[in-house]
Structures are given as structure tokens and as C-alpha cells.
Amino acid sequence: MNGELQHLIAMANQIAANLRPAAADDAAAAELVAKHIRLFWARSMKAQIIDYVQTDGTELNQVVKLAVVRVGIGSLTDLTNLEATCQK
């Protein structure tokens, strides 16, 4: 496992540890964690943690596992502008 993923796992677990007390149960906590990740993590970070949950996930605590499945990744579909400037 690379250092980057290791950090993401540690971050996710830490977020869950801090948000769990603010929620009534694991499911509610997972919602908070998912929201946090949705708001603050970059697309590539989300992709890595989602991938990790799907392939292994053993180092994540229960709340994070529940949370990660709720994290959707937004989309920047219209890249025309950038592509245009890249052509320059």
C-alpha cells in the first residue's frame, strides 16, 4: 500500500473518530463522515478511498466503510474550455 493511501485511511478514520460522538448511531455518523469527505476531499482522494473499500477496506473503521459508499464523486463534464486552451 502506498503512503498516499495510508494517509487517506488515517484521515478517514480520524474524521470518523471525531464525528461519531456527534451522531446517534453509526449510520448517522456515516452520513456526517460522507458529507465531510464530499465537501473537502479532492476527486482523486475520493476515488482512492472508494477503491480501497471495494478491494480491501480492512484498515477502515466501521463508520468509514458505511460512509464511503455514500460518497459520490461530482463531475466536471464540460471540459471543452480547458481542452481548447490546452491546444494552444
Partner 1 sequence: MLHYHEPDRDYGTPAPAATANTVSLVVDAVAVSVPEGTSVLRAAALAGINIPKLCASDNLEAFGSCRLCAVQIEGKRGYPASCTTPVEDGMQVSTQTEPVARLRRNIMELYISDHPLDCLTCPANGDCELQDMAGVVGLREVRYGFEGANHLQAEKDESNPYFTFDSSKCIVCSRCVRACEEVQGTFALTIDGRGFDSKVAAGDNESFMDSECVSCGACVQTCPTATLMEKSVIDAGQPEHSVVTTCAYCGVGCSFEAQMQGDQVVRMVPYKGGAANHGHSCVKGRFAFGYATHRDRLRTPMIREAIDQPWQAVSWEEAIAFAADRLRAIQQRHGRESIGGITSSRCTNEETYLVQKLVRAAFGNNNTDTCARVCHSPTGYGLKATLGESAGTQTFDSVMQADVIVVIGANPTDAHPVFASQLRRRLRQGAELIVIDPRRIDLLHTPHRHKALHLPLRPGTNVAMINALAHVVVNEGLEDSAFIASRCETEAYQRWRAFISEPCHSPEALESATGVAADAVREAARAYGRARNGAIYYGLGVTEHSQGSTMVMGIANLALATGNIGREGVGVNPLRGQNNVQGSCDMGSFPHELPGYQHVSDATARGRFEADWGVKIDDEPGLRIPNMFDAAISGSFKGLYVQGEDIAQSDPNTSHVEAALGALECLIVQDIFLNETAKYAHVLLPGSTFLEKNGTFTNAERRINRVRKVMAPLAGKEDWEVTVDLANALGYPMDYSHPAEIMDEIARLTPSFAGVSYAKLDNLGSIQWPCNDAYPEGMPIMHEREFPIGLGKFAITEYVATSERTNRKYPLLLTTGRILSQYNVGAQTRRTANQTWHDEDVIELHPHDAETRGVKDGDWLGISSRAGHTVLRARVNDRMLPGVVYTTFHHPGSGANVITTDSSDWATNCPEYKVTAVQVEKVSQPSSWQQKFKAFDRQQTTLLQKGRRPAPEVSEG
Binding-site member from 25, 55, 58, 81 for partner 1 (CB under 8 A): 81
Angle at 37 (CA atoms; ends 32, 44), nearest 5 degrees:
160
For residues 28 and 26, what is the distance between their CA atoms, to the nearest angstrom?
5
Among 18, 51, 56, 62, binds partner 1 (CB under 8 A): 18
Q: Total number of residues binding partner 1 (CB under 8 A)?
A: 35
CA distance 69 to 54: 9
Which residues are near partner 1 by CB under 8 A?
A: 2-4, 7, 11, 14-15, 17-18, 20-22, 36, 38-46, 73-76, 78-82, 84-86, 88
